[in-house]
Amino acid sequence: MKLKEPSGVPLTLLRYVGAAEGFHCYAKHSDATAVLPPPPAPPMESFPPTLNGVYRYTTDVADIVITDRWIDGPKRAIEFDAGCDVTNMRVERVKFTNVGRDGARLRNGSNVTFRDFEITKSAVENLQPETPVGITFTGVTNFLVENGTIRGFRMAQEYRPDGTSIYRQGDGFGTEGGSQGTIRNLVVEDSTDRNLDLKGTVHLENVTSRRSKRNFGFWHNITGTNITSENPTGTHIWVGDDAVVELDEVTAIGVGKPVFTMESRTRIHVKKLITDVPASLHKRSNGSANTCQIDLIVYV
């Protein structure tokens, strides 16, 4: 029921479910599952592959709101030039598809929210130096990223004149430069390097990573619960020098790949690990002075 003002029906028999299209919406108290219908999908808007930012910011900005957009085809959908700060930014209910390099790149800011989004790269694998990333935050504090999907940020395999291979970059979601915030209900898939490459202080809840070389890359201070890694080509969770990682529950599915690959002086504590990986591959050290404590292991 849509009511601008309660009329004709006692409110004691109704349950408020939210506002939509200028109306206050109610359901019967007996209908415990009633929710607002999702808004209609926005129409797709096509942009040239050379466009370096459908939204591009060249000076400091504040109070930015981007909602209900379907952007297809540009090099980047959101781009902040170097040295440009943002304070208070909200991006909700957006689709960025067939992007050539990045979905969004923010450099310095605070109070940033990305919610209810889908970001997909074009099928073309990039060449050096066009390193693709779905979302990059550099020096962004108090951020929240939730209810999203990032797919396909890949680089082609290239070779030096002597025939040796060049390392393949390409990440799904990355934080750098002392970033701090929360990632919740996110799925990242099919990057060539790391699906999530997290530097700074980051908390994760219900995050799934699939089919990259390193499904998770953890630096500095990482906490989280319900972390799922599926079928990496290299390792489930890579942990950099001096990182401190505290995770309540980790699911690692993909026989034959290490669960944790540690560099030097890392400290890892996992309360519960659910895995099909044999015990001999739970911990691999590339450096020294590492600790990795797993309280409970459940094999599936």
- At 16-52, the pLDDT tens digits run 888 877 788 888 888 888 888 877 889 999 999 999 9
Give the pLDDT confidence score for residue 23 in this predicted structure: 80
State the burial class of residue 177 (Cβ atoms within 10 Å of its Cβ: 0-12, 13-18, 19+): middle
* 197-209 pLDDT per residue, tens: 999 999 999 999 9
> Which tens digits make up the pLDDT trace of 210-239?
999 999 999 999 999 999 999 999 999 999
pLDDT at 1: 58
Q: Closest by alpha carbon to 268, among 217, 223, 212, 214?
A: 223
Residue-level pLDDT at 18: 86
User: What is the distance between the terminal CA atoms of the chain, rounded to a whole angstrom?
Assistant: 47
Structure tokens at 285: 């050290």
**What integer pLDDT is reported at residue 158 of this predicted model?**
98
- 129 upstream amide cis, omega within 30 of 0: yes
Q: In the numeric block, which tokens belong to residue 169?
A: 């970059």
The token duo for 99 is 């992007």
- At residue 121, the pLDDT reads 98
pLDDT at site 9? 58
pLDDT of residue 134: 98
**Which residue(s) pair with 80 in the sheet?**
57
Percent of the chain's residues with pLDDT above 70: 96
- pLDDT at residue number 12: 63
10 band by pLDDT with thresholds 50, 70 and 90: low
Tens-digit pLDDT profile for residues 269-280: 999 999 999 999
How do residues 60-77 score in pLDDT, each as one tens digit?
999 999 999 999 999 999
* Nearest by Cα to 225 from 258, 185, 187, 257: 185
pLDDT: which is higher, 11 or 166: 166
Q: Looking at the predicted structure, is the pLDDT value of residue 5 above 60?
A: no
pLDDT, tens only, 76-121: 999 999 999 999 999 999 999 999 999 999 999 999 999 999 999 9
pLDDT in tens, 50-62: 999 999 999 999 9
pTM metric for this prediction? 0.89
Mean pLDDT (whole number) for 170-181: 97
- Confidence (pLDDT) at 27: 87
